[in-house]
Amino acid sequence: MELRQLRSFVTVVEEANFTRAAARLHLAQPGVSAQVRQLEKELGQTLLDRSGRTVTLTEAGEAILVHARSALAAVDAMRSAADEFAGLLRGRVRVGSLLGAPAEAFGLAGLLADFHDTYPGVEFSLTEDTSQRLLNAVRRGELDMALASLADERPPPGVDLQVLLDEPLEAVVTEGDPLGGADPGLPLTALRDRPLITLPSGTGVRAVLERACAEAGFEPLVAFEASAPQALFHLAARGFGVAVLPYGIARRRGVGLRTVVLTDPSPRARVALARPAGGPAGPAARAFLDHLSRALPEHLTTGGTAGGPLLGQLSRTRPSG
């Protein structure tokens, strides 16, 4: 028994005529008749009464018609599922990434490539911006997901977060700077009158730093800002100020620089995978979000270079010293 036999039988019943059924199926009329006869032969029953001007069902045909339609409906449902999968292969995913993160820190390029190897028809767009703009873009539906640093404990309305990193901010100073000898950490108030070098306004790190300084009773004197960590390191190495960066980035400093963790209060940088509340709409974006949610934690805990561990569910953090 073949699907084309069932489809020919059901179409003849619906059209009550072999010729009209053939036209609807874009087949020759003898071919449709042959399909129905073959079905009748396999079932051992006459399904259609051909004696009148219109074709009608026999008693056996009425019983078989219900099952034939159910079988065709199941096949159509399978094809719909396949079409959705094909849509995934042709989908587009819009990803955002925070400014200032080294390209290899989250292995994002490799994760994109791995997914593309499996689903080569998926197109990607990658946007790098400040975390504030990224979170707003996710909230507005302009991005399917984004890696963003967090300034607040609560997610913005309409945005869900999976926290990936939670690590202290550190001061990066020249080896001869007295601040570099602070043990076990450097009180934030020690930066009160020092020019600071840090990430631009709109980044989560900058917001966390400004809030912590306000808590300590002073306004930070930001002398230079840049999104590229190497630029910040070069400025610090030439004595233009104290660079303030997250642990994972700060520890990538070059020769001639030292790092010391900030305390009293202890500002922390948090990075999360942000997505629209309820998840992205498209099947491609949903599949990549699942891939990213599973792969990023594994990367960060086993081979990541960003410095912080997966919080998973905020279970552990990078040491504060």
Cβ contact 258:278 at 8 Å: no
pTM for this predicted structure:
0.62
pLDDT tens, position by position, 122-169:
889 888 888 889 999 998 888 999 999 888 767 788 999 988 888 999
The stretches in the chain having pLDDT less than 50 are: 103, 301-321
Cβ contact 177:191 at 8 Å: no
Provide the pLDDT for residue 228: 86
Instruction: Indicate the SS3 state at residue 21.
Output: helix
Q: Which of 169, 205, 164, 208 is nearest to 309 (CA)?
A: 164
Distance of CA 242 to the CA centre of its chain: 35
Provide the pLDDT for residue 313: 28
Provide the pLDDT for residue 104: 55
pLDDT tens, position by position, 267-283:
998 889 999 998 887 78
CA atoms within 13 A on the CB side of 216: 23
Provide the pLDDT for residue 198: 93
β-pairing verdict for 159-174 and 257-263: antiparallel
Instruction: Give 3-state DSSP helix, strand, coil % of the chain, rounded to 5.
Output: 45, 20, 35
Helix and strand counts by DSSP (H, E) for the chain = 10, 12
Where do the domains of the chain lie, and which CATH numbers do they carry? 3-85 (1.10.10.10), 92-164+270-302 (3.40.190.10), 168-269 (3.40.190.290)
Q: Is the dihedral of CA 70, 76, 81, 84 positive or negative?
A: negative
Which residues are CB-contacts of 22 (< 8 A; sequence separation ≥ 6)? Answer: 28, 29, 31, 32
